[in-house]
């Protein structure tokens, strides 16, 4: 099942993608795609609905982020060996965890707005998981049982803010528009092996990233369990799990995004995104 949200920013409605790739309106069934919708019981209820009975939506409608009211947007850094090497960073012994402000979340095709004084705007294609059940100190063997779904995440990063401005990475990860999610949340029954997903990213049609979740240092299962040792995970929380090599910071010389650049990215079975970089007005 592929769940989504559509409509103008701030007024999105819940929907799903049917077997023919058409968008169907779920607003007569649930108020939104949010934590309470994403429990096992909630997803089972949605699966029981015949998609053909739902109103069809114009294919050209704007897609919003597939999850509403995200409370925690958690990032994992340096989770691919080749990415750690390209950024001259030691390969971590434990997962590197940081936060992105939930206010940075936007739809998959919304513009990326460059912050004032941005000089090192970078791209990172990632696969994220969405939590569907409350969990604290969860054993690794049970970790995937709380996953409501998987989706594409663009972990947009301002490297100067992240690296050279002191403090935590959240500074370079949280500007509005730095968290495009979607186009859909894909439930686990459609992703039998999340550790074998190919992900990719291009800038102005030039391939910059091409990798596989098979090369993650820490698996989805390990990351979910590990993070739950330090904080309670709640339904609707998003965990984005790191990026493969090919970021602008790792190029020699480094290359960063500028106004007018177009970024495309996607992952097996999870759909694709496209953003245009614009200067904040």
Q: Is 14 a domain residue?
A: no
**Per the structure, how many domains does the chain have?**
1
Count Cα neighbours of 252 within 13 Å in the Cβ-side half-sphere. Answer: 3
Lowest mean pLDDT among 8-12, 160-164, 238-242: 160-164
Q: Is 95 domain-assigned?
A: yes
**Structure tokens that stand for 208 in this block:** 């910059």
Q: Which CATH number is 109's domain given?
A: 3.90.850.10
Q: Would you state the pLDDT for residue 18?
A: 97
State pLDDT tens for residues 205-219: 999 999 999 999 999
Q: What angle do CA 4, 149, 97 make, to 5 degrees?
A: 115
Taking residue 86's Cβ as centre, other Cβ atoms within 10 Å add up to: 17
- How confident is residue 167, by pLDDT bands cut at 50, 70 and 90? confident
Domain that holds residue 233: 68-279
Please say whether the beta carbons of 151 and 265 come within 8 A.
no
> How far is residue 257's CA from residue 158's CA, in Å, rounded to a whole number?
10
Reading the block at residue 195, the tokens are: 């550790």
Phi, psi (degrees; rounded to nearest 5) at 82: -65, -30
Q: Is residue 12 one of the residues assigned to a domain? A: no
Answer yes or no: is pLDDT of 281 > 80.
no
Q: Tokens standing for 245?
A: 């090599």
Query: Are the C-beta atoms of 248 and 209 separated by less than 8 Å?
Result: no
Flag whether 190 is in a domain: yes
The more confidently predicted of residues 25 and 164 is 25
pLDDT digit string, tens, across residues 106-144: 999 999 999 999 999 999 999 999 999 999 999 999 999
What is the pLDDT confidence band of residue 38, given thresholds at 50, 70 and 90? very high
- pLDDT at position 40 is 96
The reply to whether 268 falls in a domain is: yes
List the structure tokens of 19: 């077997």
Position 141 in a domain: yes
How confident is the model over 164-193, as a mean pLDDT? 96
Looking at residue 75, the DSSP 8-state letter turns out to be E
Is residue 5 situated within a structural domain? no
Q: Is residue 52 part of a domain?
A: no
């Amino acid at each position: 099942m592929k769940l989504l949200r559509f409509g103008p920013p701030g007024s999105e409605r819940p929907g799903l993608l049917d077997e023919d790739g058409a968008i169907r309106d779920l607003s007569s069934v649930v108020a939104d795609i949010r934590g309470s919708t994403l429990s096992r019981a909630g997803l089972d209820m949605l699966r029981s609905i015949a998609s053909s009975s739902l109103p069809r939506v114009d294919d050209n409608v704007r897609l919003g982020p597939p999850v509403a009211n995200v409370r925690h947007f958690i990032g994992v850094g340096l989770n691919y060996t080749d990415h750690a090497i390209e950024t001259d960073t030691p390969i971590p012994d434990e997962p590197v965890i940081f936060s992105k402000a939930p206010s940075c979340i936007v739809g998959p095709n919304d513009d990326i707005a460059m912050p004032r004084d941005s000089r090192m705007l970078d791209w990172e294609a990632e696969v994220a998981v969405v939590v569907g059940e409350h969990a604290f100190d969860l054993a690794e063997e049970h970790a995937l049982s709380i996953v409501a779904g998987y989706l594409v995440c663009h972990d947009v990063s301002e490297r100067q803010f992240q690296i050279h401005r002191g403090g935590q990475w959240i500074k370079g990860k949280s500007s509005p528009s730095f968290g495009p999610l979607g186009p859909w949340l894909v439930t686990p029954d459609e992703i039998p092996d999340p550790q074998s997903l190919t992900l990719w990213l291009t800038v102005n049609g030039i391939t910059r990233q091409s990798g596989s979740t098979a090369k993650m240092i820490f698996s989805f299962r390990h990351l979910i369990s590990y993070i739950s040792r330090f904080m309670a995970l709640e339904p609707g929380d998003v965990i984005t799990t790191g990026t493969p090599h090919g970021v602008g910071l790792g190029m020699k010389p480094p290359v960063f995004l500028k106004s007018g650049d177009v970024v495309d990215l996607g992952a097996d079975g999870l759909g694709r995104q496209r953003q245009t970089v614009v200067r904040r007005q």
